[in-house]
Every structure is written in structure tokens, then in C-alpha cells.
Structure 1
């Protein structure tokens, strides 16, 4: 059977056109979150079995490799595979939902807090190799969790028709609830972590919105974890400045609550005409 030149041209053009991005349904996103957590918790438990390792007490390079680097690295590989499957890299890494300029105070306040509360003496006592690996490990956590929740999660909820308020709300609550799985290693105090991580999740969402870049949220998340965990590198010597982290979060959330109606820019005349 012969094929006309026109049919061949149309076939080649169709093959060269990019496929439309896939939509991830809400329940499918929940499955992705469950798999991510299973990888992190499962591999971490497997590698830490028989070791004298306390939860959230990064006191050695061995701890960081077993509990963070390897399990989170595998979970990141899985999450990148999901993002590739969606075929929406631009949409995942760039947020096109503008906010008012004053929200730049959120990433700036986080950065200043990180500089202030980091336990420099504690890190120095463990040596530069440990400090560098802790930074790499926390940046990996920031990359993986932000890609999952503020990247894939935000896109998934937006594509399923959720309002931007509900997008921020649900991805924040799921981010906090996901840390409830730490009850396996830390016991009931993981419930406190759920509340705290929900608060930080909302702040990281605001970093995404205020900068328009997922990479900024990833960096903020990783550096925040680095500064907070640095206060626990010497469990017998609590680092008092780390308590400022909770104060900063409370102030930022109160600020957003008070000025919540001034987060989204007022519609332009052109947008108003389009709505009529």
C-alpha cells in the first residue's frame, strides 16, 4: 500500500509536536506522596537498623549518609521520574501567579534568620567535612520535598481546578501531615513536628509565590533545615538561638494573616474588561 507525500508530512509533523502535559489527579498525587515517604522512611530504617542513631540528632557523617543522603537521594530520583512523566518542567519550576511586592519580606526574613540562628561553634566542633555534608543533605531534603509539594503538588491541585487559596492550603497541610510519619522514629513528639512543618510549609509556599521560582523555595527549605539542625549537632549542649526560628515563623504567619487581602495584586483594567 502506498502512502502519499502529504500523509508522510502530516505524520512527521505530528510526531515532532510535543505531547500535551499530563494531569495528575488528586488521589494520584497522594499515592506519589505515600511512595516518596515509604522510600525515605523505609530505606532510612533499613540503613539505621542496629545503629545507635537518635532521630533528628545529626552528630556524625555516618548518620547523615544513612538517614538522609541515601534515602532522600532515592526518593528524589523517584520524584524526578514523576515530574518527567507529567511533562511540565516549566510549570513545575516557575510560578506565574504574581503577588504583591511586599511579600519579598518572607524570603529575606528566612535568610536573615538562617544566618543568625546557625550553630557555628557546634558545626566547627565537628569539622568542615561534617558541616559541608550537613548542608548538602539538607539541601537535598529541600530539593526533594519542595519538588514534591510546592512543585508537583501545586501543579496537580491547580490543574484539578482548585483555587489558589486551596492550592496553598492543601499542599501545606499535606506537607505537615507527611512529617507525621516520623512518629515511627521520634514517637508522639512527631505530632508537634506536624504543626511546625505545616507552618514552615506555608512560608515556603509564600517564598515560591513571592519569587516565582521553585528553586528559591528549595534553597530556603534546605538552608532553614541546615540552620535548625545545626542546633542539634551536640545534643548535650542545646543551642538557644534556634528558638528564634519559631518566633520568626509566628511573626511571618501573623503578618500574612493581617495582610492576607493584600497578597494578590489588584486586577488591571485589561483584566477587569476580560471578566465582563
Structure 2
């Protein structure tokens, strides 16, 4: 059975967009299932006030489901023998312009760290939120930029197609946020933003040569955004300090950079072998 999954002729080695979609869908089933289970068994411990009203709320509503999801995707990659390839240096180099993606994603993170009203949260909430962010980065990046990108490259797609499809999968993952609220304008905007944020993460992975930096940047973006607005997929209410006002421009910067990047991403990783030569980026 291990040979079937791991060999060159194995199921996953053949790659393809629908296999990447299958991995994404399976991850979401696990994530949502764990969330329901945690809610049924531990929901009575949640206090009023939203996910950031207490450490317990953060742990139950956010950390546990995404933490299990991260463990599951890591286990999946281990079973099919892809841990090393996914964390290895990227098989195709980046280009100097790609470093702009790092700056575009980094400056809102830095400004939010400065501008967050830490005193507005109960003790421990900020720390647990940052830990949660790390697991978000691990889980979502390994699903899309890890397994997803690997499967798309194995199918022989050009890197532009790899970037677009993996980012589309990343955006579609966030459709789960519509559960209970329906497809609202906020969700529509979220899908657009997450698609282009996915493009930025792909570019960061390319230019740094490692998925680790995409995980780190993603893992810092989400919790600082949550803490700066006081919620998930919500706009900040009331007056904000200058740091958070400037940080908010990062959303538009991500979208604008992502649009430009779509015209600049080039290259292809030959699927014949992990160490095969690559076409110029």
C-alpha cells in the first residue's frame, strides 16, 4: 500500500488539479468535522463575547480545529513521502521583483504589532492567538502551497497556472466562513483578497526558496489582523490609531501586487523528476 502512494507511478505522484482539489476538500471535511466535534463536547466552556473574549474561547473555537488540521496534513504528507520534498528548496528560482511580495505582506504585520490594543484582551489571549496563527500558517500553506503546488507541478502545468490554481484553492477554502451567514459582500471581498494573498504566498515561497517563509508570513498575518479588528472577517469598529489605519492599506497592496504578479510569473518545473532542470522563470 505504501508503494502505491509513494512510487513514481503512485496515485499522488501523477498530480493534477483534481487531486489538489481532493486534498483541499478532504482537509476541509476534517477541519469542519473537528470543529463540530469540539463544539459539541467543549462548547459549554465558551463564554459570551466572541472568539477573543477568553483564552478558552480562542483555544476551542480556533486553535483546536486548525491544530488538528495541521497534524492531519503533516501526517498525509508523511504517508505519501512528501515531507522532505515539500520542505526542500524550491525546484525553480525566484526573480528580484518577487521580493516586493515580502515587503507587501510584512509591513502590515509590523504596523499591527505596534498598533494593537493589547490591553483590550484578557490575559493570554494574544499569546494563544499567535500560536493559533502559526497552526493556520502550517495547515493552510501545506494544503495549498505544499501538497497543492506539488500536485500541480507534477501534472506539468506552467508556474503561472500553478500559482493561479493553488491560490484559487486557497480562496475556496475560505468559503467555509459563509457557513451560518450566507454569501455576503464581506465573504465576496474575502475571496478576492485571499486569492491574491495566495499569489503573494506563492511568490514568497518562490523567492525565498522555502515554504517555511510562506508559513511564517501567513502565520503572522492572520492573528495580527484578527487582534487589530477584534474579530474574524470583520472590519474594525470605531476610531483606530495611525498604525492600524496605515496597516489597513496592506489589503489593497496585496491585491494590487497580486494583479501585477499575474503578468510576471513565468517558468515551469518539469515533472519527470524532482531534480529535473527547470525552464527560466
Shared fold (TM-score, shorter chain, > 0.5): yes
Deviation >4 Å, runs of 4+: 19-23, 49-55, 234-240
Aligned match for 1:113, one of 93, 108, 127: 108
Gap change, CA 1:245 and 1:54, over 3 Å in 2: farther
Tell me what 2:63 maps to.
Answer: 69
- Find the residue that maps to 1:231 and give its secondary structure: helix
Tell me what 2:99 maps to.
Answer: 104
Gap change, CA 1:42 and 1:122, over 3 Å in 2: farther
Instruction: Please say if residues 228 and 245 of structure 1, whose CA atoms lie closer than 8 Å, have aligned partners that are also in contact.
Output: no
Unaligned 5+ segments in structure 1 are 1-18, 266-270
Tell me what 2:31 maps to.
Answer: 40
Gap change, CA 1:54 and 1:183, over 3 Å in 2: farther
Gap change, CA 1:53 and 1:238, over 3 Å in 2: farther
1:97, distance to aligned residue in structure 2 (A): 0.8
Aligned match for 1:221, one of 207, 212, 218: 218
Superposed, 1:1-80 pairs within 5 Å as 20=7, 22=10, 24=12, 25-26=15-16, 27-48=18-39, 58-80=52-74
Gap change, CA 1:121 and 1:253, over 3 Å in 2: closer
Following the alignment from structure 1 to structure 2, what is the Cα–Cα distance between the partners of residues 218 and 23? 26
1:252 aligns with 2:257: yes
1:193 aligns with 2:190: yes
Following the alignment from structure 1 to structure 2, what is the Cα–Cα distance between the partners of residues 88 and 133? 29
Higher mean C-alpha deviation, range 75-84 or range 214-223: 75-84
Unaligned 5+ segments in structure 2 are 1-5, 269-276
TM-score by length of 1: 0.78
1:126 aligns with 2:114: no
Tell me what 2:274 maps to.
Answer: none
Instruction: Please say if residues 119 and 231 of structure 1, whose CA atoms lie closer than 8 Å, have aligned partners that are also in contact.
Output: no
1:167, distance to aligned residue in structure 2 (A): 1.0
TM-score by length of 2: 0.77
Following the alignment from structure 2 to structure 1, what is the Cα–Cα distance between the partners of residues 183 and 198? 20
Following the alignment from structure 1 to structure 2, what is the Cα–Cα distance between the partners of residues 180 and 152? 20
TM-superposition CA deviations, 1:205-233 (whole Å, max 9, x none): 11111111000000010111122111222
Number of corresponding residues: 248
1:111, distance to aligned residue in structure 2 (A): 1.5
Higher helix share: 1
Instruction: Please say if residues 98 and 264 of structure 1, whose CA atoms lie closer than 8 Å, have aligned partners that are also in contact.
Output: no
- Find the residue that maps to 2:204 and give its secondary structure: helix
